A = this chain, B = another copy of it.
Amino acid sequence: MQLGMIGLGRMGGNIVRRLLRDGHTAVVYDRNTEAVATLEKEGATAATSLEDLVAKLETPRAAWVMLPAGAITEETVTQLSGLMAEGDTIIDGGNSFWGDDVRRAAALKEKGLHYVDVGTSGGVWGLERGYCMMIGGDKEAVDRLDPIFRTLAPGLGDAPRTKGWDKHDPRAEQGYIHAGRSGAGHFVKMVHNGIEYGLMQAYAEGFDILKNAASGALPEDRRFDLNVAEIAEVWRRGSVVSSWLLDLTAEALAADGELEHFTGNVQDSGEGRWTINAAVEEAVPAPVLSAALYARFRSREKEVFADKLLSAMRKGFGGHVEPK
């Protein structure tokens, strides 16, 4: 079927490619005309503006917005909603906050438009592995877009089937779900990323302990000089901690066990933060997910007021002057 795509960055561009390869058609738009031209060569229909894109889509239209979450997505959805007609659907496949989805869906519904939020995981590997999608919106719109989702999803692949899955919705084992009403897709994706932070930090702490087992600060008979690249590799098969993130870890450590080219200034996107906000709102303890987020905050700080205050108190009660 036909899909309009607004935003042809790494994610948007590859989503179009994966659709074209499977026989779908696409009308594409980006402020970067080069990105549009590239995809046109690969078989997409180029649009020169949002108006042009809407004009080139057959009704009922489906336009996927794949832009950075925040002001630009908001603006684009608003503009599109002014151009589209009853029965059309706007899809937000970016990393929007689920609360924005709830609000937008209500506003679009008044105009007779559908709003579908798609949390998309897969990163740069999606073109090849497929995209894992968590979808929120009304059943009618989600069902109509099913051919799109089926193509983008990874499919069964090599992963062994879960025992007893035949009693459940078959879409989940293809790699996409209809999570619920508008906002549900991004809500689930938000928690996905919260978990992702936690998993990453668990590995990071473990490898830090392994790396520091050779520390000169330890008594000599308590030191081990370990090869972290071999350790990551050996855990990939048969161990309880095997995962795709471990595969990536193994690859990075195989290339350089010291990770010297990495800064360690770790960014965070909104989802990790919103996950903590959701946990707090629900009164659910989330110590691991919080700790993972805080480790990222801390990684980017050079001077920490909190630490200075500790030093100041230590000086106050003990006369301690902290070394540089």
Contact = CB atoms under 8 A, between A and B. Distances in A.
Nearest to A195: B206
B282 A212 contact: yes
A208 B287 CA distance: 12
A72 interface: no
Given A121-B238, A234-B175, A191 B206 contact: yes
A23 interface: no
A148 interface: no
B121 A231 contact: no
Contacts of A159: 236-237, 242, 247
A263 B215 CA distance: 23
A317 B277 contact: no
B265 A273 contact: no
Interface in A89-139: 99, 102, 121-126, 129-134
A168 B253 CA distance: 11
Interface residues of A, number: 159
Contact of A245 (B163, B290, B313): B313
Contacts of A293: 280
Contacts of A224: 179-181, 183-184, 187
A127 to B, nearest CB: 11
A296 to B, nearest CB: 7
A128 to B, nearest CB: 10
A1 interface: no
B132 A282 contact: no
A53 to B, nearest CB: 27
Interface stretch (A34-42, A58-66, A301-309): A301-309
Contact of A287 (B171, B211, B236, B291): B291
A4 to B, nearest CB: 23
Nearest to A208: B306
